[in-house]
Amino acid sequence: MKIGIIVGSTRNGRAGESVGQWVAKQAAERTGAEYELVDLAAYNLPMFDEATHPMMANKKYASAEVQAWSDKIDQFDGYIFITPEYNHSVPAAFKNAVDSLGSEWVGKALSLVGYGAVGGVRAIEHWRQITANFSMAVTRAEVNLSLFTDFAEGVCTPAGMQDQQLGKVFDELEQLTGAILSVAGANANA
């Protein structure tokens, strides 16, 4: 089972990169799934402008950048979204990246790692609503990193309990992803 850890902030000097490194470091020690760090900033996605609704696009896009993004996202069975909170919601660049695709996301498992003044909770709750449109299955377990206690000079330096909480996220996400894959396998063999 393959899980993509998506760093969803793209701005210069972002703290998100160091959050991604923290998550990826613990993920590398897991044996239940294969994890890969995906940096949204590297894809240089255009502001969504495809003529065809992504859900109708059959994973074929006019933009080479969107196609590369689709090809990468399609490789995974589940995801961890690493999300900052911008103006009490999700970052626009990350929402644009999610809107740009369709069936690549459908029915897959998801966990959320948020950060902000109050742990990114408003962004996380919005992601739960947004991803419902793709019938994604989202774990209850999440990580809420505080800008005040889990970062030093913009770099993620999480307190002890956060390592444990991230472990819970991996446990739930691997269980949920495995369950989805086994139902899909059973349906294919029926």
Ligand X SMILES: Cc1cc2nc3c(=O)[nH]c(=O)nc-3n(C[C@H](O)[C@H](O)[C@H](O)COP(=O)(O)O)c2cc1C
Q: Site size for ligand X, by CB under 6 A?
A: 14
The minimum distance between CB 135 and ligand X, in angstroms, equals 28
The minimum distance between CB 91 and ligand X, in angstroms, equals 7
Q: How far is CA 93 from CA 8, 36, 76, 173, in A?
A: 8, 20, 21, 24
Q: CB under 6 A: which stretch of 6-14, 133-141, 165-173, 178-186 binds ligand X?
A: 6-14
Sheet holding 109-116, edge to edge: 34-39, 2-7, 78-84, 109-116, 137-146
Nearer CB in complex with ligand X: 22/61: 22
Nearer CB in complex with ligand X: 42/117: 117
The minimum distance between CB 3 and ligand X, in angstroms, equals 21
Residues 31-70 that bind ligand X (CB under 6 A): none
- The angle, 0 to 180 degrees and rounded to 10, between the axes of the packed helices 92-99 and 121-132 is 10
Residues 79-138 that bind ligand X (CB under 6 A): 84-88, 116-118
Q: Which two tokens stand for residue 2?
A: 């393959």
Task: Render 46-65 in DSSP notation, one character per residue.
Answer: PPS--SS-GGGSTT--SSHH
Contact 165, 141 (CB under 8 A): yes
Nearer CB in complex with ligand X: 43/86: 86
Tell me which of 4, 16, 54, 158 binds ligand X, using CB under 6 A.
Answer: 16
The minimum distance between CB 108 and ligand X, in angstroms, equals 24
User: Strand, helix or coil at 90?
Assistant: coil
What residue type is 164 in one-letter code?
Q
Rule CB under 6 A: say whether 18 interacts with ligand X. no
Give 171: exposed, middle or buried? Use CB within 10 Å, 0-12, 13-18, 19+. Answer: middle
Q: Considering only CA atoms, which of 78, 86, 89 is closest in space to residue 33?
A: 78
CB-closest chain residue to ligand X: 116
Nearer CB in complex with ligand X: 40/110: 40
The minimum distance between CB 187 and ligand X, in angstroms, equals 39
Residues lying near ligand X in the complex (CB under 6 A) are found at 9, 11, 14-16, 84-88, 116-118, 147
